[in-house]
Amino acid sequence: MLEQIGVDSIAALFEEIPAELRIGASPSIGPGEAMSEMAMLRWMGERAERDAGLVCFAGAGCYDHHVPAAVWDIAGRGEFMTAYTPYQAEASQGTLQLVFEYQSMMCALTAMDASNASVYDGASGLAEAILMAVRKAARKSRSRRVLMAETLHPHYRDAARNIVANQGVEIETLPMAGGRCELKRLPDDGAFAALVLQQPNFFGLLEDADRLTDWAKGHGAAVIGVVNPLTLSVLKPPGQWGESGADIACGDGQPLGAPMSSGGPSFGFICAKAPLTRQLPGRIIGQTEDAAGRVGYSLTLQAREQHIRRGKATSNICTNQGLLVTAAAVHMALMGAQGLAAAAAASRANTLRLVERLTAIDGVRPLFPGPFFHECALALPKPAPEVLDTLLDRGVLGGVSLAKHFPELGNALLVCATEKRSAEEIDTYAKALAEILR
């Protein structure tokens, strides 16, 4: 093949990539690590059976919400399951209309003007949002500095840094105090392209989004809100934060019809105000009329390398998760605004009950004061990883340890309860934890 295309070596195909960005040899699978298809399926089946027997009190970005049976009955139909990019509008009106309706519902949830459809996940969606803000700043302040809240999900922080670091974007951290952004530490030096904050934040706490948004706008920075779409059925949407609202909203769509599935897949969403629409990665579907005046749908914007010159694309990694977007659209349509709000309210009520039961145990207390949504960080008298392992043996997925990413918080555990958790399951968790701590 190399001879036919006139290239001397495989390495020559990648000459345009700077040497400092190359990783060298690809990692290989060592002895004993390879697995046959039959063994892999058996191993996956065993893991799935084990997961199915667990009662889940873990959150931290992936949530055990109820998914109506109709969602995947519809999304699994051949018309959706096997659909590809709807290049030919005359043959793809069903897919185009579904995506248009999805975008409309996401704009309503976030109070934004435009929505894409979609990106890989919430973390890569944040990286794309940062690059959008930097491109916007290039026309004004030319700043490539981004202020990122320490209370943002650590996976989002790591993924965003990994993606934008080699593009000359400088990430600075806004420290936290008491589990929230420390407003006294807001910098007053230099210009920023964007401020990134999460609402509710990683610990489930509510940030002062209005004040942070107004501060950023007053310093000429765009505001990127990382949000859980389910919470927007009851909380103020990012498009209404402060006096003029956030500029970009992004996050993970997993709470909208995607099961946890041992960790994936999911999809990322990005919504933006009108001036940033042209910067959105992925695709936008528009509503139009044909020559006879009938309503129709078409691909309106697709600023990715698959369609235009790579150097002019807004993103080169924005392959959309079309099937998950389909499920999300069906989920939102079935639930409606009232159904989503009811699920959010039930999740918060169950988490309040869970925290009340757990903090009645000697040595267990809330780690931070103030209101939270459906997650809460707790302080334990024993190391959280050890406690979680013992709970797992009892069929309880007890939460997420904070030891890895926030060791300074001590024996800290992040717990979550969705609308699926029953009073009996919460009581079972509390009794098990009390016995373990004794």
Q: What's the chain's average pLDDT? A: 92
Last residue of a domain, one of 295, 310, 331: 331
Once rounded to an integer, what is the mean pLDDT over residues 273-290?
Answer: 91
244 and 354 together in one domain: no
Task: Give the per-residue pLDDT at 133.
Answer: 96
Indicate the pLDDT class of residue 309, thresholds 50, 70 and 90. low
In a domain, 36, yes or no: no
Report the CATH number at residue 79: 3.40.640.10
Sheet containing 114-115, strands listed edge to edge, beginning at the edge strand earlier in sequence: 114-115, 268-272, 248-252, 222-227, 194-199, 145-149, 170-174
Task: Give the per-residue pLDDT at 89.
Answer: 83
340 and 288 together in one domain: no
Once rounded to an integer, what is the mean pLDDT over residues 13-41?
Answer: 81
Which DSSP state fits 316?
S
Query: Could you list the residue range(s) of the whole structural domain that residue 374 is in?
Result: 56-63+336-437
In a domain, 284, yes or no: yes
Backbone angles phi, psi at 11, to 5 degrees: -60, -30
Last residue of a domain, one of 302, 331, 360: 331
366 and 326 together in one domain: no
Task: Give the per-residue pLDDT at 47.
Answer: 83
Q: How many domains, in total, are found in the chain?
A: 2
Once rounded to an integer, what is the mean pLDDT over residues 19-26?
Answer: 76
Task: Give the per-residue pLDDT at 141.
Answer: 80
Task: Give the per-residue pLDDT at 11.
Answer: 84
Nearest-angstrom CA–CA distance, 39 and 22: 34
Once rounded to an integer, what is the mean pLDDT over residues 238-255?
Answer: 98
What letters, b where the CB count within 10 A reaches 16 and e where it falls short, cover 205-218? bbbbbeebbbbbbe
Task: Give the per-residue pLDDT at 102.
Answer: 97
Task: Give the per-residue pLDDT at 151.
Answer: 98
92 and 156 together in one domain: yes
Residue-wise pLDDT for 359-415, tens only, equals 999 999 999 999 999 999 999 999 999 999 999 999 999 999 999 999 999 999 999
pLDDT above 60: residue 305:
no
Residue-wise pLDDT for 210-235, tens only, equals 999 999 999 999 999 999 999 999 99
Task: Give the per-residue pLDDT at 263.
Answer: 80
307 and 369 together in one domain: no
Indicate the pLDDT class of residue 140, thresholds 50, 70 and 90. confident
The answer to which of 122-131, 187-196, 335-344 has the lowest mean pLDDT is 187-196
In a domain, 177, yes or no: yes
In a domain, 11, yes or no: no
The answer to which of 59-73, 109-123, 313-327 has the lowest mean pLDDT is 313-327
Q: Is the pTM of this model over 0.95?
A: no
In a domain, 345, yes or no: yes
In a domain, 50, yes or no: no
166 and 243 together in one domain: yes
367 and 269 together in one domain: no
Task: Give the per-residue pLDDT at 53.
Answer: 81
**Better pLDDT: 18 or 202:** 202
343 and 322 together in one domain: no
304 and 181 together in one domain: yes
Task: Give the per-residue pLDDT at 32.
Answer: 73
Nearest-angstrom CA–CA distance, 280 and 348: 33
pLDDT above 80: residue 323:
yes
Distance of CA 150 to CAs 130, 153, 242, 400, Å?
16, 8, 21, 18
In a domain, 31, yes or no: no
Task: Give the per-residue pLDDT at 225.
Answer: 98
Last residue of a domain, one of 298, 331, 364: 331
Indicate the pLDDT class of residue 17, thresholds 50, 70 and 90. confident
Report the CATH number at residue 431: 3.90.1150.10
155 and 257 together in one domain: yes
154 and 278 together in one domain: yes
In a domain, 142, yes or no: yes
146 and 249 together in one domain: yes
| pLDDT cut 70: percent of the chain above it | 96
Nearest-angstrom CA–CA distance, 228 and 101: 19
Residue 25's Cα: distance from chain center in Å? 31
